[in-house]
Amino acid sequence: MNEILIKLENDDHTLSPTTFSLTETNKFLSSLCDVLNASENGAASFIYLESIEDNCVLYKMKTVGVAATAITTLFSCFNTTSNWNDYPIDFYNKAIKFHKTITSKNMECVFLDSDTNTVKMKISKKHPMPNIEKNIMKYHTTIFGELIDIGGIKPNAHIIPLGESKSITCSISKELATKLGSRLYTTVGLAGEVLSESGNIVSMKVETIDPYVKKDNPFIELAELSKDFLNSIDDNYINDMRGRERI
């Protein structure tokens, strides 16, 4: 378990409980948790208030498991701008929001090692977010895969594409979500607009459900499809091909 100190202060060193309200505290902590979770799915951290001084607010954060990896990733990216391209666009977007939460109040946020007091990262207007370029594309396609979750107030469908191991979150209307409800843990086809980052699909807006239904035996389905075609072939044609006498 690692302990990190988070020190918040403003430009004129007058940050206090009267100038940094509970609402602002919640915004700060919420945006920090968002960026950690965007870095490592399921990142959990324990953050509590260490002290409120005349000119700063100090938090102590204990990171556990993937959260320790997440905070290390955040430090690395803010200190070496080229590293942003190695992570999902959602992580970058959440980091921008976190940065704005701090700079919009003309504050500086300093992350320090609890044991050595070494500065790990600084965020302020003097330390701006880098501008990065990612290969982002939008296009229409159909994704076939296993439906592993469906629902929510603003419905989402979670599908693992065939041959893949990672799920894709798909926004979907309540009407289509209701139709998909009985298809949970089966192979489905979802058609719509996808957002692709560097060649990898990261999200989809579902427009229609493909009529595809997985058969227990694909050879039976193939036989059904080819039955009419085979029945229409003249027997004498087959006999001629095989060197037999005509009927």
Return the CATH number at 173: 2.40.50.140
The C-alpha angle with vertex 72 and arms to 70 and 75, in degrees rounded to 5, equals 115
9 with 97, same domain: the answer is yes
Q: Which of 44-48, 56-60, 63-67, 225-229 is predicted least confidently? A: 225-229
158 with 76, same domain: the answer is no
Return the CATH number at 36: 3.30.70.600
148 with 60, same domain: the answer is no
pLDDT at site 227: 61
User: Mean pLDDT throughout 206-229?
Assistant: 70
pLDDT at site 170: 95
Domains of the chain: total? 2
Does 18 have pLDDT greater than 70?
no
Which backbone phi and psi does 134 adopt, to 5 degrees?
-120, 150
109 with 162, same domain: the answer is no
15 with 83, same domain: the answer is yes
Comparing 114 with 13, the larger pLDDT belongs to 114
Distance separating alpha carbons of residues 65 and 37, to the nearest angstrom:
12
61 with 146, same domain: the answer is no
Residue 32, in any domain of the structure = yes
Q: pTM for the complete prediction?
A: 0.53
Q: Which of 93, 123, 153 is the last residue of a domain?
A: 123
Does 87 have pLDDT greater than 70?
yes
Residue 59, in any domain of the structure = yes
User: Mean pLDDT throughout 60-80?
Assistant: 82
**Residue range(s) defining the domain that contains residue 48:** 2-123
Helix H or strand E segment including 144: strand 136-151
Token pair, residue 130, equals: 């880098």
Is the CB of residue 240 less than 8 Å from the CB of residue 231? no
User: Mean pLDDT throughout 62-82?
Assistant: 79
95 with 172, same domain: the answer is no
pLDDT at site 85: 66
Helix H or strand E segment including 209: strand 200-210
7 with 63, same domain: the answer is yes
Is the CB of residue 208 less than 8 Å from the CB of residue 243? no
30 with 89, same domain: the answer is yes
78 with 6, same domain: the answer is yes
27 with 79, same domain: the answer is yes
pLDDT at site 187: 92
Does 13 have pLDDT greater than 70?
no
Residue 77, in any domain of the structure = yes
Residue 130, in any domain of the structure = no
pLDDT digits 0-9 by tens, 164-187: 888 999 999 999 999 999 999 999
33 with 88, same domain: the answer is yes
**Cβ neighbours of residue 95 under 8 Å, at least 6 residues apart?**
35, 38, 74, 77, 78, 129
Does 189 have pLDDT greater than 90?
yes
pLDDT at site 232: 63
